[in-house]
Structure 1
Amino acid sequence: MSALDNPLSMFDVGGKVALITGASGAFGAVAARCLSGAGCKVALAAGNAEAMAETAAACTGDTHQMVGRPDSEAACAELVAKTVDAFGALDILVVASGMNRVAKIDEMAPDTFESVMDANVTQSWLMARAATKQMKAQGRGGKIVLMSSARGLLGHPAGYTAYCASKAAIDGITKALGCELGAFGVTVNAIAPTVFRSPLTAWMFEETEAATDVRNGFLARVPKGRLGEPEDLAGPLLFLASKASDFYTGHILYADGGYTAG
C-alpha cells in the first residue's frame, strides 16, 4: 500500500525512541508531550530534576528521566547509553537545551559570550555527535532535530550578539550535518521559532501597558498577527521526527507566523 493511500501513516512514530535534552524547558516540554502523545518512548534529560519531573508527569507514554546536561563528550555519550539501556535504541534526538544572555557588546564579558556559544552550539554539536554514532551503529537511520531561532537569520538591536551568533551557527551545523549524514538515512533539521509562550515570555502576553507596547511593536512584523503558542511548535516537530520528512534534511523550518518572510 502506498503512503498516499494512508497519508497519516507517514506521521506515525509509535514505538520510536526519542531523547530530548533540555526537557525541563519550554520547548523540551512541548517536545516531550508531543512525541509521547504520538506514541514514542521518551527519554528526558535536564539539569532541573523537579521541572523535568513535571514534564514527565504531563506525558502520556513511557518516559525515562535522566538528570544531566549535554555539557561534555562524556555526558552526551552517557545520555545516549542510558536511553538505549532504558528503551533498546535511539531513533529521534531533540536538542531543546540552550540559553541566552542579553547585553550590549561593549557591556558583555567575553566569558558570557562564550557561555552562550557553549550552551547553544557546542553542546548541540556534542549531542548530535553522540546520537550519530548510535544511529549509524543501528543501521536504520534516524532523526535529529536542533533548536534554532528566527534570530539565526535576523539581527536584534537589544544586545543579542551572542544569541544571534549561536543560532546562526546552529543553522550551519544543521545544513552541514544534513549533507554529511544523508547517506546514512539520518536527517538533520532545525526548528526556528520567533517569540512563543513560555515562562520567560509570559510577560509579553499580559494586558499591561508596557507589555502591549512591546507586543504591538513586534506584531507589526508578524503577518499572522499573534505571538506563538506551544502547539505551533508541536506540528513542525512531529513532521521532522516522522517518516513524513524523510526527504527533508539540512532544513531550517521557521515557526514564526511569517516573521522572517517580510
Structure 2
Amino acid sequence: MNVMANPLSMFDVKDKVALITGASGAFGMVAARVLAGAGCRLVLVAGNQVALDEISEECRGMGAEVLAVNARPTDEETCEGLVSQAVDAFGALDILVIASGMNKVALVTDMEPETFTSVMDANVTQSWLMARAAARRMKEQGSGKIVLVSSARGLLGHPAGYTAYCASKSAVDGITKALGCELGASGITVNAIAPTVFRSPLTAWMFEDTDEAKKVRSGFLARVPVGRLGEPEDLAGPLLFLSSKASDFYTGHILYADGGYTAG
C-alpha cells in the first residue's frame, strides 16, 4: 500500500498485541484506552486488583480482547512470565508500554536511603527488567515497539524533594537511548514519553477553582508556552505514534508532552 496515498494506515495498530504495565495508573489507563480504541489486543498488568478490573472492563466495553494480570514487574521471573502470558494468549508481543512506577517526595536532608532505593527500583530497575524480557521475544519476531514513561523531571530539577524521582527519570532516559541504539538493528524501536503535569486523580486538585490551586497553577503556567495544563488526550497522539509503523525511523527519543515547558 502507498502510505503517501493513505497516510493514516501508518498509524494502524489493529490486532497488535500490547502489554501495559501499571495499567491502573494515570498514564497506564490512558494507554489502555487509546490502544483499546485503536483495536489492539491487550495484556493489562497492575498491582491494584480493583482498579485493574475496572480498566479491563472498560476496554472490553470498547471491543478489545483483554487479558488482565494482577502483578507488578518486580523481578526477572515475573517480567519473563508476563511476556510468556501475552504470547500464550495472543501469539505475539508487538507493543510494550512500561507505565508502572512511583514517586516518594522528601527533601534530601530528610530522605531515608531505602526511600531513594525504592523509587529507583520501581522506576529504573523494573523498567529495565520489563524491557529486557520483551526485547528477547521481539528479537525473535524481528520487530517490536517499546515505550517507556519518563517525565520532564528527567531533564529538569525540582525544588521540593524530588531527588529520587528526578534521578530515576534521568535513568529511564538513559535506558531509552541505550536500548534504542542496541535494539534498532533488530527491528525494535525504543522511545519514551515524558509528560509534565496532566489531569489525573493525583493532580485533579491543580485544576480546581481554589486559591491554592490557582497559585500553584499560575506559577507553573508561567513556564508553559501553550498556557494550560495537560489533558489525558495530549498523551494519546504521542503514544499511538510511538506504537505504530509511523515511528519506524524513530528510536532512542524522549518525546516531551509538556506544552513547551522544557523548551524555555
TM-score strictly above 0.5: yes
Does 2:18 align with 1:18?
Answer: yes
Q: Which residue of 1 aligns with 2:8?
A: 8
Runs (5+) with no aligned partner, structure 2: none
Q: Which residue of 1 aligns with 2:48?
A: 48
TM-score of the two chains, using structure 1 as the length reference: 0.99
Q: Which residue of 2 aligns with 1:217?
A: 219
TM-score of the two chains, using structure 2 as the length reference: 0.98
Q: Which residue of 2 aligns with 1:184?
A: 186
Runs (5+) with no aligned partner, structure 1: none
Deviations 1:107-133 (A, max 9, x none): 000000000000000000000000001
Shift of 1:2: 1.8
Q: Which residue of 1 aligns with 2:104?
A: 101
Q: Which residue of 1 aligns with 2:125?
A: 122
CA distance in 1, matches of 2:104, 2:19: 26
1:235 to 221, 225, 237: 237
CA distance in 2, matches of 1:52, 1:27: 13
Identity %: 75
Pairs aligned (count): 261
Any idea what SS the aligned residue of 2:45 has? strand
Does 2:71 align with 1:68?
Answer: yes
Shift of 1:171: 0.4
Deviations 1:108-164 (A, max 9, x none): 00000000000000000000000001111223x100000000000000000000000
Structure 1 segments of 4+ aligned residues over 6 angstroms from their partners: none
CA distance in 2, matches of 1:88, 1:52: 23
CA distance in 2, matches of 1:217, 1:149: 19
Q: How does 1:200-211 map to 2 (within 5 A)?
A: 200-211=202-213
CA distance in 2, matches of 1:231, 1:63: 22
- Counterpart of 2:252, as a letter, is G
CA distance in 1, matches of 2:76, 2:6: 41
Does 2:106 align with 1:92?
Answer: no
